[in-house]
Amino acid sequence: MDYQVTVIGSGPGGYVAAIRAAQLGFKTAIIEKYPTLGGTCLNVGCIPSKALLDSSEHYHNAESTFKEHGIDINKPKVNFKQMIARKSDVVKQNVDGISYLMKKNKIEVLEGVGSFKDKNTIVVKSEKEEKTITSEKVIIATGSKPATLPFIKLDKKRVITSTEALELKEIPKHLVIIGGGVIGLELGSVYARIGSKVSVVEYMDNIIPTMDGTMGKELQKSLKKLGFDFYLGHKVTKVETKGKEVTVVAETPKGEDLELKGDYCLVSIGRKPYTDGLGLENVGVKVSERGQIEVDDHLKTNIDNIWAIGDVVKGAMLAHKAEEEGVFVAEQMAGQKPHINYNLIPGVVYTWPEVASVGYTEEQLKDQGKKFKIGKFPFKALGRARASMDVDGMVKVLADKETDEILGVHIIGARAADMIASAVTAMEFRASAEDVTRMSHAHPTYMEAVKEACLAATDNRPLHM
């Protein structure tokens, strides 16, 4: 065999799996069809979107809060070309970092589309050449691509996906977003801050529908302040493009037609597993009706030497979930017994305020018939939030009514994405709400809101409210 472990796909799941396999002593290769490593996340997902979110938030603050902070400047202007260029530079630095890690760990990088000939043989085909390799074990980590609706034609110029939204040559005058989930709201935030009118059409009755309902309501209030228009409970029925104008028609909750006209339409209704060209049929790997590769509790497919991880299998499509699975599979191959608690993989929305959640939502606990307590604490009661003018938001803690064990933590506010790690830590160690209240939290910090929410959940005794 040429390799002991071969990974197909170099996104966060794939490259982390390859690194861990190499660390554990396996002779490892990674196959990537694009010239750059890092997959969707590093090239056209998490990293570039965060770069644009940060740049646009700086501009928004210069325009809206500097004066109150005592900073007088001339009216700021958006240099959109430079904003996109900086984003591209951030992507390059990260991608170069992955290439360095491959060399450091002696992982062979094979460029091209990897396709199974049989369970141990993979054909790697690029524009330049075709080569065949053999491998004892294989990890599929080919990720996902944007989903669309059958009647929507993605021309990638006016009717676009998140990929094109990161490379626009101009700031949209009116961006119509189909879908009120994480990706649409993040990219909508970028453009709303720098001058676009943004309209969100969502089929469900609330935005970020997979998260705790309170978070969606609070985020909607904040985004409305940015100028977002929301059309919830609306079903998109038609998208038409004429020249530079896109018309989106949606059915309202009353059954009437709503017509929105914009210069760009972002289709952001989720993502679907990507398995094109893998040749799964050649080895008989089972795929579900939803296009997901079927795996067992150990992430192994029905073929004994092939595993699959990340967006291409069941579960949340999150970079850090894929990373955990990559490590999980590599360590199993080495005879270790790792674990993943899928309930404790946090979800984050990088709007401002940020939203971050881990554990059960209030809705899930009600569906389970679980008896629970709720503790809430608003950011506006925090000295740190007042000092930074980030008073939008709250922390919501859900705890077992009898044992006081923390069952869910949901945060909307400044730095929620970083704060959620402390909740994951507490829940991994089965902490009670009271356990958290007994720990000293530095003052003044945003984290005090977590302690206060736990105090509210324990016996309704927050100190600062």
- Report, as residue numbers or ranges, the catalytic residues: 443
CA distances from 215 to 53, 218, 320, 362, 431 (A): 20, 5, 21, 11, 23
Q: Is the CB of residue 281 less than 8 Å from the CB of residue 119?
A: no
CA 365 from chain center: how many Å?
23
The one-letter amino acid code at 274 reads Y
- Two tokens at 42? 């590093």
Burial class (CB in 10 A: 0-12, 13-18, 19+), 402: exposed
* Spatial CA neighbour of 141 closest among 1, 295, 26, 348: 295
Where helices occur in 375-439 by DSSP H, the ranges are 383-388, 416-428, 433-437
Kindly report whether the peptide bond that precedes residue 12 is cis, defined as omega within 30 degrees of 0.
no
- Two tokens at 284? 């008989």
Other C-beta atoms closer than 10 Å to the C-beta of 439 total: 13
- Two tokens at 216? 């969606």
3-state secondary structure of 183: helix
Tell me the C-alpha distance between 67 and 389, whole Å. 12
Tell me the C-alpha distance between 305 and 302, whole Å. 9
* Adjacent-strand bridge partners of 358: 409
Q: In 104-256, where do the E strands start and end?
A: 108-111, 113-118, 121-125, 130-140, 144-146, 159-160, 174-178, 197-202, 229-232, 235-242, 245-251
DSSP state of 128: S
H/E element holding 94?
Answer: helix 80-104
